[in-house]
Each structure stands twice: as structure tokens, then as C-alpha cells.
Amino acid sequence: MRCENSHDEISEINMTPFVDIVLVILVIFMATATFVAQQKIAISLPTASKQQSKQDAKPLMLTIDKDGLMFIDDVRVEDLNEALAKNSVLVAENGVVLRSDAKTSFEHVVKAIDICKQNNISKFSIQTEEASR
């Protein structure tokens, strides 16, 4: 007797393992794409594990309170465009530090960043508090 099954060529490819691998890769891609997209927008965090500071240069301090009112170096400003234009030399040299209350609406933070960009300010940072351990 001859066993015909042992020498026959496989004429079909089992697609199940291939589909499983493709779905796992798709899930991994979707999960990492979500995290990458979230890091593209600068947000004001209430705490951070480490503070960064520059000792030699004093940047312009732009503060936004929880109601969306804006202050430059603790002085209330009505028109941020005008205030940034008055301080253009300081801003060009040292940049802007954006401080906002943890309860500030995200809309106010984005508005402040947009106004900075409109005034060709590319050097700005967001100040946070150091997290307690």
C-alpha cells in the first residue's frame, strides 16, 4: 500500500495565523498612534517630577488664572498681542514661560500659545509644579 498523503504538495495556505498576526500588529499600531498623537500638543500639567529652570536669563512670565485672565509678570493684561509687542526685546532674548492654573480651560492655554506664535515667539515653555513623592 502506498500512502499518497505524505508526498502530495500543499496546494492551500492556511490564512488563519496570518490574519492573527496582522490583527495584533494593527492593535499595536493603533495603541501607539494614540500616544504619539497626544504628545504633539503641549499641555499644562499641574505637577512634574522635575523642575527645569534657567538661572541666568529671566524670561517673560505669562500667567493664566482659572477664569482665563492673563497676566504678564503679575500685571493683568487686556490685550496679549499688544503686551507681547511692548516686551518684544525681552521675549526675543529669553522667551516666554507659560504658567496656568490646573483648572484653567484648555481653550485659554491654546489661545495664549497661538498669540505667541502670531508674534513669532518660538521660545516658550510651560511651567509645572514638582510632584510630591
Specify the pLDDT at position 83: 86
Alpha helices in the chain (DSSP H): 16-38, 80-86, 88-94, 106-118
Mean pLDDT of the chain: 77
The Cα diameter of the chain in Å comes to: 99
115-129, pLDDT tens digit by residue?
888 888 878 788 777
Is the full-model pTM beyond 0.85?
no
Specify the pLDDT at position 39: 45
pLDDT at 130 over 80: no
Stretch 68-73: mean pLDDT: 86
